Amino acid sequence: MNFAVHPDKVIYLDHNATTPVHPDVLEAMLPYLREYYGNPSSAYRFGSQIRRAIDNARQQVAALIGCEPREILFTGCGTESNNATLASALLADRDRQQIVTTSVEHSAIVKHADTLARRGHPVTLLPVNSPGQLDLDAVRAALSEETALLSVMWANNETGTIFPVKELAEIAAEKGVPFHTDAVQAAGKIPLRVSDLPVRFLSLSGHKLQCPKGIGALFVSARARFHPYFIGGGQEGGRRGGTENVAGIVAFGKAAEIALAHLEAHAAHVQALRDTFEQTLLSALPDGAVNGDPSSRLPNTSSLRFEGADAEAVLVLLDKEGVCASAGSACTTGSLNPSHVLTAMGLTTDQARSTLRFSFGPSNTPEEVRLAADIVAAAVTRVRSLRAPGPVAIHTQADR
């Protein structure tokens, strides 16, 4: 392979898209790629001994969210965890076939919900206000005897808005509705404890947490009914068929251990970087605006809009300087559709298209962030100045 960009030449501010693998995580998984390749389901010791590494990882992931190890299933990714939960919910009770979720979920929920709606399941996408928060009375009103699942993310990947998971889980419990939360972005950034909450399902993904891609987890409360999505062998207590991604599972365990041990330090570090970045940038470009809920936002996420500066054009200039960031959601980059999250928050198409997302991680430094803020300010200024004066819209009476 020939790579155009060397990692040393990059200022990586896109940790909500994926993260670099922590060196200790890589170290922990290597033996399971190199020598310990046995199948954990085999009867001979060369295989079965590997089960202990999986058990250990399950304890480490359980500790991160405060649950019992037996309540953790390993999956292939956060997308699978989300999809499996929706599918299971619809199999639990024939009379409960309605899905209630929000208009700002990750595509692994909203697109699945959309597919279900096209197949005839009633789906309710709850609206959000301009900081991206839900009206709790509207949530309560949306739940009925027919609701199979309420799914609300713990924190939004694009804006960092944190949802009141405790209140939401309690509302669901009052109505007898199982509650799922997509905690992929919250894990490792804010404390997560499910044991004291009536949360039934919770999704995690390794690669947002300094672990390699292709490993996820699903918390299934011991009190919940779960119908497997991957039907096959008896792995994961019969709840997820498929030979285990042993190295990925071991890596995820280590990454969870690191995330838990350094939770407060990492959060303080990324928040200081994020705040310096926003202050520097917004003092250079005072008309910039922050998207999301300033009173309840992940410490590492900065969604900023600079009206009149097309985000895709700014990203091209940032790319030339080695700064990695994203426009809206990583999954929609390259398409012309404005982010569904930002439009649900009431932003106009132009406001959504002039939004950039920066997300910081434990390995970022203050020097990088100061340099990046200067580069972004210059790029936004340049894109604004290059903007050709477009055709002047003339509204006639007939247009209205």
Q: Which residues are catalytic?
A: 331
Distance separating alpha carbons of residues 71 and 37, to the nearest angstrom: 26
| Residues in CB range of 36: below 8 A, 6 or more apart | 49, 50, 53, 246
Question: Which stretches of the chain are DSSP H helices?
Answer: 23-34, 45-48, 50-65, 78-92, 107-118, 136-142, 165-174, 235-238, 246-261, 263-284, 311-320, 340-344, 349-353, 366-386
Which one, 16 or 384, has the nearer CB to ligand PLP? 16
Q: Are strands 216-220 and 201-205 parallel, antiparallel or unpaired?
A: antiparallel
- Least distance in angstroms from the C-beta of 98 to ligand PLP: 22
Other CB atoms closer than 10 Å to residue 2's CB: what's the count? 3
- Least distance in angstroms from the C-beta of 180 to ligand PLP: 12
- Least distance in angstroms from the C-beta of 35 to ligand PLP: 27
Report the residue number whose CB is nearest to ligand PLP: 78
- How far lies 355's CA from each of 84, 160, 212, 351, 359, in Å? 32, 14, 28, 6, 13
- Least distance in angstroms from the C-beta of 120 to ligand PLP: 25
Which one, 154 or 306, has the nearer CB to ligand PLP? 154
- Least distance in angstroms from the C-beta of 339 to ligand PLP: 13
Q: Is 203 helix (H, G, I), strand (E, B) or coil?
A: strand
Which one, 357 or 384, has the nearer CB to ligand PLP? 357
Other CB atoms closer than 10 Å to residue 44's CB: what's the count? 9
Which one, 215 or 281, has the nearer CB to ligand PLP? 215
Q: Measuring CA to CA, which residue among 15, 59, 107, 100 is closest to residue 302?
A: 15
Which one, 216 or 228, has the nearer CB to ligand PLP? 216
Distance separating alpha carbons of residues 98 and 153, to the nearest angstrom: 18
Phi, then psi, of 143 in degrees rounded to 5: -90, 140
- Least distance in angstroms from the C-beta of 207 to ligand PLP: 6
Which one, 124 or 185, has the nearer CB to ligand PLP? 185
Q: Is 188 helix (H, G, I), strand (E, B) or coil?
A: coil
Chain residues that interact with ligand PLP, rule: CB under 6 A: 77-79, 106, 108, 153, 157, 182, 184-185, 205, 207-208, 216
